Amino acid sequence: MFDRGWGAAYGENAMPSRVLVSRELGEVFKVLAHPDRIRLIEELRGGEKDVNTLAASLDLPGPRVSQHLGLLRLHRIVAERREGRHHFYHLVHPEFAAWIVEGLEFIEGRMTGIGESEINSARKLWSVPAS
């Protein structure tokens, strides 16, 4: 007998849409698996910003910010607009940032070493549109 793969084991033929959607969500979760990218998404919730502004506000090196933005762009989470030599980025779906804030509920009970005040502080900061 041969191995037909995980898709066959989970009914890929019966429900291909569930498999495709699960794969896509898995890819989005992989992209979100880095704290810098989560912070970038939250920083872009208020609108378009350039790499230098993002780097300064997040206290990260510009090349590192550019690398993360490239990955977010590849996965269609952010879009880029060029104006001369400047590159501006914005969220394709601004509500994506709100989705992350809602995710704070899932981590509250799991976090060790981080108190409720830190979570509430992040929630307040991330819930107010950036200026």
Specify the pTM: 0.75
Which residue, chain included where needed, has tokens 């090196």?
A: 61
Q: Which pLDDT tens digit goes with each residue over 67-125?
A: 999 999 999 999 999 999 889 999 999 998 888 888 877 777 676 666 677 777 777 77
